[in-house]
């Protein structure tokens, strides 16, 4: 319908054109970019795709090739709980203290950088887990170049291991596997490699393409080799940035400190940030009063791939918000005010997320076409059965989509996914984690829990029938 009106033809014309391509589409169906191009061509139009930009987005000038220099990789560590993410991050942070830095007080600021033995710098996001990774990505931040997936050698590939791999792959971030806890007597790295091969992750010494390193976050064994493998992966990416321009980057975390005001950890991704610069991050701005590294040492300037703790913003932006350095206070204030106004308006008319009870009402107003569902359950068999039955409930009017199905309790990342794609979560013989429950409340995501498959199917069916025959 939208495409038809853009081209000044009738919707039926577009539908027939689709049919001639063998596609049977409805009037409200979304078409992919390729189809749009072909159809538009039929009617004599060329298509120009532009990215949807916010009015308050700061336009960044593309860097000339000659201005680009190598930059350090930014790494995130992900994996199942208790497999050693925090221990690994701590070990790397503490073992890489260079002379002169010793004696500084290490602070958890959400990110740090270290010099490896080979004299190359690596920056780490010190917020382990894929929830933080996905939350930042949901806000449009691309702050990770390489992901280390940790698996404990005395355990197995677990649900969150799979999830972490999945999240990294969806984000197109290369993976290095760290098989941790090899110091333990019951460590069995070969079993982990076998587990990994069962989910199509074939490690190098098994003839696959994934680099893998045995490590111990307790003894430090293998950690330098792990860092070398990360650097190798980074080399392939040819990471570059222009250091000689006003800084741009992303917020890692921010909070209000009683003595110091708002403190924000930010990752400079290009350009150089200096004390005195006017920074704009999300709806907040301010002059950079002071900057520190994770050892509490004062910095005057920070170049690409450098995480810093900074003071001076007039509020706490959210993790994943972009930041820019602005020409003047006035300019920064103007954009910040505008963004704040937009946020306020959005929060007034926040779109409620879908619930089963809402379906009938939404269909009555029209335009409800898809029901997105996330299925979590205790065993594979029941998840498959439930997901299949739900899919079969699709009708001509309403398509049921299973966005994600997996074994395990309902996690915060399930809720984030539901929120990002307006889905309901169906749990079979599983419950949400405490964090997921809280997040679902604030995000207004419906979680339905069942212990009988038949009940789950019936509820969804009833809701959909309600929506097929709105009783007004
Ligand atoms: P996270 O939940 O993935 O962040 O895991 P932690 O880093 O908190 O580690 C979980 C537990 O495993 C802790 O008790 C750690 O001391 C222990 N641990 C982590 N790495 C190793 C290791 O390489 N060897 C041994 N023996 N224990 C480890």
| ipTM score for this prediction | 0.99
C-alpha angle 407-409-410 in degrees, rounded to nearest 5: 105
CA distances from 237 to 30, 74, 144, 146 (A): 34, 12, 12, 9
Strand segments (E) across 347-438: 370-377, 399-407, 423-428
- The token pair at 63 is 């860097």
Q: How far is the CA of 161 from the centre of ligand 1 (A)?
A: 15
The sign one gets for the Cα dihedral 308, 309, 312, 315 is positive
pLDDT value at position 29?
A: 77
| DSSP string covering 171-231 | TT--EEEEEE-TTSTT--HHHHHHHHHHTT--BGGGTSSBEEEE--TTT-TTHHHHHHHHH
pLDDT value at position 271?
A: 97
Shortest-distance atom of ligand 1 to CA 217? 23
Place of tokens 């589409």: 25
pLDDT value at position 258?
A: 84
Q: Has 180 been labeled as part of a binding site?
A: yes
Q: Has 307 been labeled as part of a binding site?
A: no
Q: Has 126 been labeled as part of a binding site?
A: yes
Q: Are 376 and 426 in contact (CB under 8 A)?
A: yes
Testing ligand 1's pocket by substitution, the residue of 217, 221, 226, 435 carrying the most ligand atoms inside 8 A of its CB is 217
**Mean pLDDT, the chain cut into blocks of 10 residues (472 residues total):** 91 89 80 82 84 69 90 96 94 76 68 92 88 75 93 95 86 94 97 96 95 97 97 95 96 90 95 97 96 92 97 93 94 92 64 71 66 91 90 86 88 86 91 92 90 90 65 36
Write the CB contacts of 244 (distance below 8 Å, at least 6 apart in sequence).
67, 271, 272
Testing ligand 1's pocket by substitution, the residue of 84, 179, 217 carrying the most ligand atoms inside 8 A of its CB is 84
- Is the distance from the beta carbon of residue 217 to the nearest atom of ligand 1 less than 6 Å? yes
Q: Which residues of 416-439 are buried (b: 16+ CB within 10 A; e: fewer)?
A: bbbbeeebbbbbbebebbeebeeb
Q: How far is the CA of 93 from the centre of ligand 1 (A)?
A: 15
Instruction: Determine the Cα–Cα distance for residues 225 and 411; give it in Å rounded to an integer.
Output: 33
pTM above 0.80, yes or no: no
- The token pair at 59 is 């336009």
**Whose CA is closest to atom 10 on ligand 1?**
82
pLDDT value at position 347?
A: 59
pLDDT value at position 350?
A: 45
pLDDT value at position 19?
A: 85
pLDDT value at position 352?
A: 61
pLDDT value at position 69?
A: 95
Q: Are 85 and 79 in contact (CB under 8 A)?
A: yes
pLDDT value at position 341?
A: 84
CA distances from 465 to 31, 351, 387, 423 (A): 26, 23, 18, 18
Q: How far is the CA of 214 from the centre of ligand 1 (A)?
A: 14
Testing ligand 1's pocket by substitution, the residue of 77, 78, 81, 82 carrying the most ligand atoms inside 8 A of its CB is 82
- Is the distance from the beta carbon of residue 216 to the nearest atom of ligand 1 less than 6 Å? yes
Rounded to an integer, what is the distance from CA 300 to the centroid of its chain? 31
pLDDT value at position 468?
A: 42
pLDDT value at position 357?
A: 75
Count of all residues that appear for the chain in the document: 472
């Amino acid at each position: 319908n939208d495409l038809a009106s853009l081209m000044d033809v009738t919707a039926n014309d577009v539908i027939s054109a689709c049919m001639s391509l063998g596609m049977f589409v409805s009037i409200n169906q979304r078409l992919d970019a390729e189809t749009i191009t072909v159809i538009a061509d039929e009617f004599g139009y060329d298509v120009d795709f532009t990215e949807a930009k916010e009015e308050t987005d700061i336009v960044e000038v593309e860097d000339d090739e000659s201005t680009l220099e190598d930059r350090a990789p930014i790494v995130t560590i992900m994996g199942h709980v208790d497999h050693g993410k925090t221990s690994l991050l701590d070990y790397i942070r503490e073992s890489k203290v260079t002379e002169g830095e010793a004696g500084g007080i290490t602070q958890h600021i959400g990110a740090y950088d270290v010099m490896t033995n080979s004299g190359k710098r690596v920056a780490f996001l010190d917020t382990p887990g894929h929830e933080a990774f996905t939350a930042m990505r949901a806000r449009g931040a691309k702050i990770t170049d390489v992901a280390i997936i940790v698996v404990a050698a005395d355990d197995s590939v677990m649900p969150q291991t799979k999830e972490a791999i999945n999240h990294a792959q969806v984000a197109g971030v290369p993976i290095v596997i760290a098989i941790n806890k090899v110091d333990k007597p019951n460590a069995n790295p070969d079993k982990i490699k076998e587990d990994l091969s069962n989910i199509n992750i074939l490690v190098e010494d098994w003839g696959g393409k994934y680099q893998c390193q045995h490590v111990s976050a307790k003894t430090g064994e293998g950690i330098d080799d792990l860092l070398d493998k990360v650097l190798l992966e980074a080399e392939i990416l040819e990471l570059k940035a222009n250091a000689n321009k006003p800084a741009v980057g992303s917020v890692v975390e921010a909070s209000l400190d009683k003595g110091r005001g708002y403190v924000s950890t930010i990752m400079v991704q290009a350009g150089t940030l200096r004390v005195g610069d006017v920074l704009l991050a999300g709806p907040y701005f301010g002059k950079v009063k002071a900057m520190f590294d994770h050892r509490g040492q004062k910095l005057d300037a920070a170049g690409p791939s450098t995480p810093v703790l900074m003071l001076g913003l007039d509020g706490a932006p959210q993790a994943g918000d972009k930041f820019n350095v602005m020409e003047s206070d006035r300019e920064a204030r103007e954009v910040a005010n505008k963004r704040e106004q937009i946020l306020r308006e959005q929060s007034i008319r926040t779109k409620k997320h879908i619930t089963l009870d809402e379906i009938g009402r939404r269909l009555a107003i029209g335009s409800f076409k898809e029901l997105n569902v996330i299925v979590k359950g205790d065993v594979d068999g029941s998840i498959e059965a439930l997901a299949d039955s739900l899919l079969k409930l699709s009708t001509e009017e309403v398509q049921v989509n299973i966005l994600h199905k997996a074994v395990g309790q309902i996690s915060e990342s399930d809720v984030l996914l539901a929120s990002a794609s307006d889905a309901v979560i169906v749990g079979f013989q599983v419950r949400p984690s405490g964090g997921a429950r809280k997040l679902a409340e604030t995000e207004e995501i419906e979680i339905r829990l069942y212990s009988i498959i038949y009940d789950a199917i019936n509820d969804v069916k009833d809701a959909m029938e309600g929506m097929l025959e709105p009783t007004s």
